[in-house]
Amino acid sequence: MSRRGWFLFILVGFLWGIPYLFIKVAVDPDNGFTPAIVVCLRTAIGAAILIPIAIKQKQLMPALRGIKYVAPYALLEMIGPWILIGTAEQKISSGLAGLLIASVPIWATIFASLQGDKTVWHRTRLAGLVLGFIGLVAVVGIESIKGSSDALSIFMVLVAAVGYSYAVMMVQRALPGVSGIAINGVAMAISALFYLPFTIVQWPTHEISTAAINSIIGLGVLSTGAAFAAFFTLVSIIGVARGSLVTYLNTAFAVVLGVLILGEPLTIGMALGLPLVLIGSYFASRKPVTK
């Protein structure tokens, strides 16, 4: 990988690792926003960044013509998952949320098998699936039994991970030649419009902290707009398969930033489950080399 490729790889890992921290601060019930407002504002900012890029690339119209696929993609990738994660982070740590999202490659592998991808049953990928699930069981089980994390919130983040994994597969099959920047720009606009009525009704009457406002700006500009633009630039350099490995870097950033900046505890469940989920996800998503 070139130096530019490595730079973009690390940059995307950071930009997609830090949103869990931003969300945690932004949804503070005392001086922040509701999860619905957070989704609306971050997607509005993201759409404002990506749509002009798509227009410049002359890719907006193909995405709009595929709206019947982009709309369900928005539902499964943003409208559903982002409200679930935001709601969950009112009760669980940002690091735990990031760790649970690292299971996306595992769910994607399962969906691929249901679509007829027989390479899933290769012993390496199968071992990765088993190892990853052991890691998830360790995280969910220990966190729930000890009572250190809310079981329902953990489940909500796992549902978001399942949505992520299916959404990407679905839209790639339906719109293979359409720019990812255009698809996500339109999807963000749809998501922002969906949550606009909730934003108007739920706008807080209490004083909003500067930290919450800055988190919304960071979430929209960095983790939504810039991150997607950087990711698809990275994919154009190293391909989708290698680009997807950035998921593992995201998780490491999410856990470390939560501990260092927010002072979140590194629990036993996270310490045991993190390496198992990352290693398992890596091997589960790694297709065997054909000779």
The model's pLDDT over 46-69, given as tens digits with 9 standing for 90+, comes to: 999 999 999 999 999 999 999 999
Residue 144 has pLDDT above 70, yes or no: no
Question: For 186-214, how does the pLDDT look when each residue is reduced to its tens digit (9 = 90+)?
Answer: 999 999 999 999 999 999 999 999 999 99
Amino acid at 68: K
CB of 124 within 8 A of CB of 279?
A: no
- Residue 95, token pair as written in the block: 């690091």
> For position 83, what pLDDT does the model report?
96
Residue 147 scores a pLDDT above 60: no
pLDDT, average across residues 14-31:
91
**Secondary structure (3-state) at 256:** helix
HSE value, Cβ hemisphere, 13 Å, CA-based, for 99? 31
Q: Which stretches within the chain are classed as H helix?
A: 3-15, 19-26, 35-56, 60-65, 67-74, 80-88, 94-101, 104-114, 123-146, 151-174, 180-202, 210-218, 227-238, 240-243, 246-261, 268-284
Confidence band, pLDDT 50/70/90 cuts, at residue 276:
confident
Structural contact between residues 273 and 138, judged by C-beta atoms closer than 8 angstroms? yes
What pLDDT sits at residue 115? 76
Q: Where are the domains of the chain?
A: 3-284
Average pLDDT of every residue of the chain: 85
168, pLDDT greater than 90: no
- Residue 284: pLDDT over 80: no
Rounded to an integer, the average pLDDT of 128-139 is 75
Asked if residue 74 lies in contact with residue 170, where contact means CB atoms within 8 angstroms, the answer is no
**Amino acid, res. 125:** R
pTM of the model: 0.83
